[in-house]
Homo-oligomer: A and B are copies of this chain.
């Protein structure tokens, strides 16, 4: 089931329309994401290691090895998984170039983890010892398999980026995976983990090692889910997707991270086993989830109570949960569908999730982040304590750490492996899905070597220039995604010799087939201008409002606390008759601040607003930049006058 060429990428399906490229084949060389990758490498990964050490999460493994648990164990029941996610992120980072300090931390963590593994392969600091809950007895909430899924992904990252590494991580993972297959295989415990994740982990470990048993086990977990083997609870079995079998479900529901991890794992299973019916079911679920349960930012999950999807059209901006992890998970799901189907809509969603959730969640400084990503904040909250874990969703400022800190390592592994989602190849050529300055050096399916350089300041502009380096002596096809927000694009081929050629398309892709030669330039252009965007009128919470989007980037109004000139976002209205204008990296709109009376009772016959508001302009900033300058209020959706 292994492909002959195995890219250093998180997902390497045995089959599918597109082949992913590995970190050795794509490198981001500048621009928006290069900057974030640099901060991730220099700040964020170290920040995570520091806090995971300080909070005792890596120390739990030492206690396990010393045999002194449960005394002194710290963190939530799933804290092991955070360490594994850090290792995965570090492995991808180390796959892009050497970093002695990070390599040392990686090896130190792996050694301490390995020392905690039990002889039969079991590995979890929270279960199974005297004084702890017995192994596998709390599948609903225990996260044991979930933790192992992240272990497997970490081992896969290391195995793909450094196949000869002698740190032993892959061995740890294999021993744990063998135990999982033994305990949960045919004839074993007939249930699943409350938090899906082991499925993607097993699938990829199977792909890496060639051990079909792991893929079989992933399929078993997928087929078992939805039959009510987990207990009913406050939010129903939909919370952990155990309400309806995956192939019968119509939409993602329940906990948004669990739902997306599960769907990603189910896609792996569908692809590996040629299960077209399952793949079709997943595609339908993705479609309805995107059409009815996703914020304009790409964020998913509108309920704080269970970190869950709400009903169709339930997308309140002020109570948007839009957990950072949910968008990482949604990107994982979408990427797998893109590889399987080559449909550009999946790349559209990855783009919006990256620019408006992943990039929004992490501070420019790399050492603070949002767990949830609201689209409207009235109350600025208070500044987070720099020396303590913060509660979720409490402030307009990013915090260094949270009681539950699943998101930051998730951001880190996404950024470290980001080059992998830029492009793919198939038998006929190269597909560009995400636009960033990059160098790409790969081979088509038949072994034809190609090298191109991408230069762009996207998303500031929509001009993407691809310079062809060495290439094959046969025609091949270069395919560009025309983003959903652009609607149309043009492509101009300027061969080193010969006449220029222009192709236009109203999407969703533009392709050009040519006998490319070194020195050829292909210029792809989409219009990047600010536009007003309106919601489907069934999204009641933002009916009568507009948002401003510029290329893939959603904008917002921000109002700093203490700024006496700050706009009052509570009574702001925008005149959509005046087109939004680019002004120094911001977008200027025509606005009015409605007059309003203070009333003892806020519901009145007749109009509650008075006509004596002030008019003016309002400068919007990219949503991913909000909350970086101090406590503030913020809103993405702007009521119309």
Contact = CB atoms under 8 A, between A and B. Distances in A.
A291 interface: yes
A305 B535 CA distance: 27
Contacts of A314: 318-319, 378
A547 B603 contact: yes
A332 B539 CA distance: 36
A606 to B, nearest CB: 7
Interface string A598-629: 11111111111100000000000000000000
Nearest to A321: B305
B234 A600 contact: no
A535 to B, nearest CB: 6
A384 to B, nearest CB: 13
A496 to B, nearest CB: 38
Contact of A311 (B287, B378, B547): B378
Contacts of A639: 537, 540, 543-544
Contact of A534 (B234, B290, B305, B603): B603
Given A391-B234, A571-B537, A291 B596 contact: no
B311 A539 contact: no
Contacts of A545: 543
A609 to B, nearest CB: 5
A48 to B, nearest CB: 23
Contact of A291 (B318, B549, B599, B609): B599
A534 B348 contact: no
Contacts of A317: 540
Contacts of A540: 317-318, 376, 541, 639
A387 to B, nearest CB: 15
Contacts of A602: 291-292, 294, 535-536, 538-539
Contacts of A291: 598-602
A287 B600 contact: yes
A303 B314 CA distance: 14
Interface in A364-400: 376, 378-379, 391, 394
Given A291-B602, A318-B314, A600-B345, A534 B304 contact: no
Size class of the A contact interface (CB-based, 8 Å): 35 or more
A532 B605 contact: yes
Contacts of A536: 596, 599, 602-603, 608
B538 A571 contact: yes
A563 to B, nearest CB: 20
Interface in A503-547: 531-541, 543-545, 547
B596 A538 contact: yes
A451 interface: no
Contacts of A303: 304, 319
A303 B319 CA distance: 9
A550 to B, nearest CB: 11
A311 B633 CA distance: 12
A539 B535 CA distance: 18
Given A305-B305, A378-B311, A570-B313, A290 B535 contact: no
A316 interface: yes
A605 B533 CA distance: 4
A533 B602 CA distance: 10
A560 interface: no
Contacts of A223: none
A316 B313 contact: no
A594 interface: yes
Contacts of A55: none
A341 to B, nearest CB: 14
Contacts of A604: 533-534
A545 B608 CA distance: 12
Given A312-B378, A319-B314, A603 B571 contact: no
A385 to B, nearest CB: 12
Contacts of A599: 291, 536
B319 A319 contact: yes
A533 B544 CA distance: 18
B379 A348 contact: no
Contacts of A245: none
Contact of A290 (B378, B394, B600): B600
A598 B313 CA distance: 13
A484 B603 CA distance: 10
Contacts of A532: 605
Nearest to A596: B537
A168 interface: no
A544 B541 CA distance: 10
A236 interface: yes
A379 B296 contact: no
23 contacts: A236-B391, A290-B601, A291-B598, A291-B601, A292-B602, A304-B305, A313-B378, A314-B319, A316-B318, A316-B541, A484-B601, A531-B605, A533-B603, A534-B603, A534-B604, A535-B602, A536-B596, A536-B603, A537-B571, A538-B571, A538-B602, A541-B541, A544-B639
Given A291-B600, A533-B605, 10 more contacts: A236-B391, A287-B600, A303-B304, A311-B318, A316-B318, A318-B540, A531-B605, A533-B603, A534-B605, A537-B594
* Closest 5 pairs between A and B when the two form their complex, measured CB to CB: A536-B602, A544-B544, A305-B305, A531-B605, A304-B305
